[in-house]
Amino acid sequence: MSNDESAGDIQSVDLPAVSTAIASTLSTLFPAFVSVQAMPDQGEIMDLPVPAVFIDLEQIEPAPDPGTGQSAVRCRFCAYLLIGPECQGHTRLLGSMVTAMIAALREQCWGVSAEPAEFVEAMPDGSRPELDNLVVWSVRWDQVIYLGEASWDWADSTGLTLLVGISPEVGPEYIQDYFDPKERLDELSTGRT
């Protein structure tokens, strides 16, 4: 879930929209990248002006059901950071870009219905022959994405508040420790605890 949305404000999400949101966020965070692309075709990759970054979706696995009516999937994303070898100080510059990218992943939800990104690895990358004329690093992260629309919008038609206590701390002497499950879900999904 995004850092600025509540469970009732979740919009329907699909994976191309997530990739576009990632690219948009990275473009804002890293104006030094001449080009930031989400899942470009191979022909587009070869024509990217550098320095550039493009986002690829590498893997999708099931994730635990969030109980909201949405489908949860664990995705492995990769950001390929590209720079030309003719660029003065390209090794140092690319190292700075990679570490900044890793830092940007922390608690990042990209403004979509997702759990915070979990950094996996960063390394020099020679896996794409079409990029052999460039210096390339890849930064990978896993992230649980919630697809579709939430079926429970938390609309309150009773005017009452549901509070939850966790056993064994229940009863009148523990009422101050009870919590609103909507707020707790919002905190957990945005990484605030």
pLDDT tens per residue, range 37-58: 999 888 888 888 999 999 999 9
Question: What local confidence, expressed as pLDDT, does residue 120 receive?
Answer: 98
Computed over every residue of the chain, the mean pLDDT equals 85
What are the E-state strand segments in 19-97? 35-38, 52-62, 71-83
Residue 5 has what pLDDT?
42
pLDDT at 11 over 60: no
* pTM score, whole prediction: 0.72
Q: Flag whether 176 is in a domain.
A: no
Residue 1 lies in a domain: no
**Among the ranges given (1-5, 26-30, 39-43, 149-153), the one the predictor scored with the smallest mean pLDDT:** 1-5
Give the pLDDT mean for 138-153.
Answer: 87
Indicate the pLDDT class of residue 6, thresholds 50, 70 and 90: very low
* Selection from 11-20, 41-50, 72-81, 175-184 with the highest mean pLDDT: 72-81
**pLDDT tens, position by position, 100-136:** 999 999 999 999 989 999 999 999 998 888 888 899 9
The whole-number pLDDT of residue 2 equals 39
Name the pairing type of β-strands 71-83 and 118-124.
Answer: unpaired
Under 8 Å between Cβ of 87 and 33: no
- pLDDT tier at 7 (50, 70, 90 boundaries)? very low
pLDDT band at 164 (very low <50, low <70, confident <90, very high): confident
172 and 32 Cβ atoms separated by less than 8 Å: no
184 in any annotated domain: no
Domain count, the chain: 1
19: phi then psi, degrees, rounded to nearest 5: -60, -40
Determine the pLDDT at residue 90. 86
Q: What angle do CA 122, 123, 127 make, to 5 degrees?
A: 120
- Residue 131 φ/ψ, nearest 5 degrees: -110, 15
| Closest of 134, 101, 90, 89 to residue 30, by C-alpha | 101
> What is the average per-residue pLDDT within 161-183?
85
Q: Which domain holds residue 70?
A: 7-147
Does 163 reside within a domain? no
Q: Is residue 57 part of a domain?
A: yes
CATH number of the domain to which 28 belongs? 3.30.2000.10
